[in-house]
A and B are shown apart, each in its own frame.
Chain A
Amino acid sequence: MNATWWLIAVPLAFSPLAYLAGHVQRCAAQIVTLAGLALVGLFLAAAAQEVAVLGSAEYAFGAIALRVDGVSLLLAGIIVALAALTTLFSGALVQNEAGEEKYYALTLALVGTILALVCARDLFNLWVWFEGMAIASCLLVVFARERDTALEAAVKYLLQSAVGSALALLGMALVLAQVGTLSLDMIRQNASSSPTLWAAGALFVVGFGVKAALVPLHTWLPDAYTQSPSPVAALLAGVVTEVGLIALLRALAALSGVSNIWGGLLLAFAALNMLSGTLLALRQRDVKRMLAYSSISHIGYMLLGLGIGLSSGALAGTQAGLFHLFNHALMKGLAFLALGALFYGLRAADGDALTLGDVKGAAQRYPLTTLTLLVALLGLGGIPPLAGFMSKWQIFAAGVATGDGLILALLVLALLNVMLSMLYYLRLATALYDAQPGERAAAGRAIPLALRVPLWILALAVLVIGVFPDMARGLTQAAALALW
């Protein structure tokens, strides 16, 4: 029983604990959750030490092997940090809501399943934990279960995820039939090029792609993001969607020797995602939905970097894509949390469609909170010296270095998207900074400190990473090396 084991066991064990504690004393659930996450953080640090020395940290549980490598570390770091911040943030938000303790229990369950997923070394575990993540996140989306719209969003999310899972499962069956093993490493060594495995790869792409919101599999995303509580939206946008992408990449990496088409496939989806996400967000006046659509295009930027890495074998591309994943988690997490704080201030329920007009002049009433949202928006738009600029820049640099005409064309497309995306980020920013506070902003209530502190931490991180991008390099480099 080493750090790896504890890493997964602790959140899963603390999950029912938080539930029980919440029944005893309402506020205890949050404290238990934070304690659990702190403990996980400790074990994560221990695992990181081990990885730094040995290259990876493994734990075998019978036939099941779990391994912490660079990719796991990157994702685990993101989920633990972001979950801690959203838990802190949630205190004031879900206080006195029915099922408060379930909310915290589910958060821990989500963390546990994600940690297990990113450590999985075989397709079956990958799938099992993937399903676990889907269930936990789906229940979080429908936290306001009495609201029809939330139920509708959850149903769509669940059904589409289920279809995706079924397809992924089918892919695994094909792989098992063809190669005779589910271990990712064994598949990688033994798989040879055959139409069955090409089909299996395609099934992985589509199956896991649903969760990763590849266009046109993304249709669940805007509803799920907008209907869930803001901290859950932050987790969905910052981690869950990306973990779907990582699951896809893990499965595909095992089949990397089977065909050369995967890189091109990723690039094609990159183009689709960038363009569709931007176009969908462009006319959106519901601010939360707008941010949800922007996630689709950001998945596109990540795919661009990863696709460059896979198709040209350039480590820099993969690393840049993972760096953008990391930054997107920070920035989108910040954006949704800041929006959640504003929702709280403006007395809006999570399902409410807050439009640009509703948040007009919010900066007059909430200068600091709005500033953090501005940092997130500008970071997402790729304005230096914020984190989003650095990772986009690295993606571009990696792409240009390949000298490939098709990739260069994609970069031009990406550039156009960055430009167009500024249009809606800035539209929100100008609305927020309107000199005349709107009715809702004028009538807003004070935002408690617990809602604001996580925003400052994330905004600071976005700025610091932007100025010192090398701080994240160790993490992304190890992840890029471990991925393919």
Chain B
Amino acid sequence: MMFNLALFVILCPLAGLCLNLAGSRWLRAPMAGIIASIAAAASFFFAASQLIALQTQPQGTIVVLGDWLPLLGVQWALQVDALSVTMMLLVTGVGTLIHVYACGYMRGDAGYTRFFVYLNLFLVAMLLLVMADNYVLLFAGWEGVGLCSYLLIGFWFDKANGVGTRNSDAARKAFVVNRIGDVGLLLALLLLYVNLGSLNFDAVFAQAAATLSAGAPLAVVIALLLFVAVTGKSAQIPLFVWLPDAMAGPTPVSALIHAATMVTAGVYLMARSQVFFDLAPLAQNVAVLVGAGTAVLAATIAVGQYDIKRVLAYSTISQLGFMVAAAGLGAYAAALFHLITHAFFKALLFLAAGSVIHGVEHGQSATGLYSAQDMRALGGLRRRMPVTFATFLIGALALAGLPPLAGFFSKDEILAAALAENTLVCALLALTVLLTAFYVGRQTLAVFLGEARSEGAAHAHESPAVMTLPLVGLALLTAFGGFMGIAAWLGGVFGEHTPEANVWLMGGATLLALAGIGLAWRMPLVKGRMPCALQNGWWIDTLYGWLIVRPFQWLGGQLARFDRGGLGWLEQRLAAGVRGASWLMSKTQTGQLNWNGVGIVAALALVLAAAVLGGGA
């Protein structure tokens, strides 16, 4: 019976957003946030009820709500199983904390209500994505979160960020790049339907397992197309370029959408569609290489960033690379475990960074020279923002992968899986561990230690409790996430047993992380020059600009010219021709009766001739 409550997981944020929409005229500033937060919390409560329901019925169930597209055999139906419940709890749990945080962070913003409407809408779409029992509904959620991401990146659409690009451009970039991935998903769906005759998870997976052999071309193509979607949504090579720019959105958005939940949808998709990846070794290898490559590449770029949020953005890409690589290795439990711990500590890091920005912006006079996000202008916040510092430190150490924090355990599982399968990948990931510890160490040092390097930093003050309490909550999850039995639970979900602890690997990874932190101590961010290549992200955006955007714009320009010139000329000639014919025709309407008589005589002659000549035909 409890499974019937699954619908309420989605209905709560839906109700919240409807309430905020309806009352947007009357609700005063904190009310919208409170409504949205309560909606998120209620959703978490119902998600928890699903967890309890799973205790009695571990295989889960499908909650059918009604017919949707009978033509495709698709229903409004929610899948409640261990995987979806895990995601539900994560989305609503972390989501609730971030909602609460945003109540303080967004205070005084002109679009306060609009913000929370979007945030609730995002929850609805994300929950739809993870609770769908078929690919069509999943696709709807997939597009829905993309839309919310677009709306929230461009939330301050009338502003520009420090680099000079407009926020609306960043939003559009995210949307367009994601669209490339979406096409992959759509094509995969079409192939699925055409070849397997269904889009419902159960039917598709059973059919695939029954009819496709390992390495079957169809399975490989489907898995690769799905992986294209993964690279878009989860910001992998080559489609990761949108995520750093997405930092133009408010920081709670970066935490919720671009760190904890939406960007992990790709990993969820791989876990959900594991049948196809297991049948397609080629796609798995691609996933592993892309994931590991992304992890290293993004980590190197993170080293070269000065913007407090861009470091975290590249770090997110890098960590997503870990998850994708793990999923590619078939270690779905490890991937999901890291997805969860990463959601904890990366949301924590983003929110703490937001707290820093918030505090520094408030300490800054109106004529502040530096961006509040430029780490070169921060420093010494340890004493001014103690809670933020403490929580950020926990998040940073977890990201670096130091025991006993959550990140250590999940990263270790991935490294173990990689070591067992592919030494090269393991080496790449180990290098990433070193780099990760290095950049996050440098970031912590630059932001919180030393002396304040700007007026804003000197006068910064701690954020209000509504913001620090969620930080503390996430810090606790980060600190103890490794001991909450998540790994064992996930192992049960995927039928994988947790690999035995490899002391050498654990020790080695810890040493690497410590080495990274030591390096950070020796090479502080503010001293010395940053390599140009790292600052500019290996010029990948520039490269895309030259290879794709410019030629496309050129093509568009040429087509427009052709339209105006060639086609326009043709159009005008055509129009002139028609006008001429019309003019000629109008000359036949003289209004003279005798001329009209000619018409009759001519018609008679012609028809008679036709009848007599062709009559026998």
Chain A residues in contact with chain B, CB under 8 A? 155-156, 159-160, 163-164, 167, 193, 195, 198-199, 201-203, 205-206, 209-210, 214, 216-220, 222-223, 258-261, 264-265, 268, 276, 279-280, 282-284, 420
Contacts and interface: CB of A to CB of B under 8 A. Distances in A.
Contact of A261 (B586, B603, B610): B610
A284 B584 CA distance: 13
A199 B589 contact: no
Given A279-B582, A280-B585, A282-B582, A164 B600 contact: yes
A159 B593 contact: yes
Q: Which 10 A-B pairs have the closest CB atoms?
A: A198-B615, A216-B599, A202-B611, A219-B596, A279-B585, A282-B582, A198-B611, A202-B607, A259-B615, A279-B582
Interface string B593-617: 1011101101110011011101111
Contacts of B612: 195, 198-199, 202
Contacts of A261: 610-611, 614-615, 617
B426 to A, nearest CB: 63
Contacts of A214: 603
B583 A283 contact: yes
Given A261-B610, A279-B584, A283-B586, 20 more contacts: A163-B597, A164-B600, A195-B615, A198-B612, A199-B608, A202-B612, A203-B604, A203-B608, A206-B600, A206-B603, A214-B603, A216-B599, A216-B602, A217-B599, A217-B603, A219-B595, A259-B617, A261-B615, A279-B581, A279-B586
Contact of A280 (B578, B586, B608, B616): B586
Nearest to A282: B582
Nearest to A278: B582
- Chain B interface bracket (under 10, 10 to 19, 20 to 34, 35 or more): 20 to 34
Contact of A223 (B579, B591, B595, B615): B591
A217 B582 CA distance: 18
Nearest to A155: B593
Contacts of B591: 223
B596 A265 contact: no
A282 B588 CA distance: 14
Contacts of A284: 586
A193 B615 contact: yes
A265 B610 contact: yes
A212 B528 CA distance: 94
A259 B600 contact: no
29 contacts: A156-B593, A160-B593, A163-B597, A164-B600, A193-B616, A195-B612, A195-B615, A202-B604, A202-B611, A216-B588, A216-B600, A216-B602, A216-B603, A217-B599, A217-B600, A220-B596, A222-B589, A258-B615, A259-B614, A259-B615, A260-B617, A261-B610, A261-B617, A264-B614, A276-B585, A279-B582, A280-B589, A282-B582, A283-B583
| Interface SS of A by simple majority | helix
Interface in B112-137: none
Nearest to B596: A219
Contact of A205 (B593, B597, B607): B607
Given A214-B603, A283-B582, A202 B596 contact: no
B542 to A, nearest CB: 47
Contacts of A201: 611, 615
Contacts of B599: 216-219
Contacts of A203: 604, 608
A426 B610 CA distance: 38
A352 to B, nearest CB: 17
Contacts of B596: 156, 160, 219-220
A199 to B, nearest CB: 6
B571 to A, nearest CB: 13
Contacts of B610: 202, 261, 265, 268
Contacts of A219: 588-589, 595-596, 599
A219 B581 CA distance: 17
B579 A283 contact: yes
Contacts of A265: 607, 610-611
Contact of B611 (A159, A222, A259, A276): A259
Nearest to A201: B611
Nearest to B609: A202
A209 B593 contact: no
Contacts of A264: 614
A276 B614 CA distance: 25
Contacts of B584: 279
Nearest to A194: B615
A211 to B, nearest CB: 12
Nearest to B599: A216
Contacts of B578: 279, 282, 420
Most chain A CB atoms below 10 A, which of B584, B602, B616: B616
B148 to A, nearest CB: 35
Nearest to B585: A279
Contacts of A276: 585
A133 B602 CA distance: 25
A206 B615 contact: no
Nearest to A164: B600
Interface in B546-596: 578-579, 581-586, 588-589, 591, 593, 595-596
A445 B449 CA distance: 83
A265 to B, nearest CB: 6
A271 B156 CA distance: 60
Contacts of A220: 596
Contacts of A159: 593
Most chain-B Cβ atoms within 10 A of its Cβ — which of A159, A206, A222, A280? Answer: A206
Nearest to B604: A206
Nearest to A423: B578
Nearest to B602: A216
A265 B615 CA distance: 11
Contacts of A167: 600, 604
B428 to A, nearest CB: 59
A146 to B, nearest CB: 20
Contacts of A268: 610
- Give the interface centre of B583, B593, B596, B617 by most chain A CB atoms within 10 Å: B596
A189 B182 CA distance: 69
A206 B586 contact: no
Contacts of A282: 578-579, 582
Contacts of B588: 216, 219
Nearest to B583: A283
Nearest to A420: B578
B211 to A, nearest CB: 39
Contacts of A209: 603
Nearest to B588: A216
A420 B582 CA distance: 11
Interface in B125-164: none
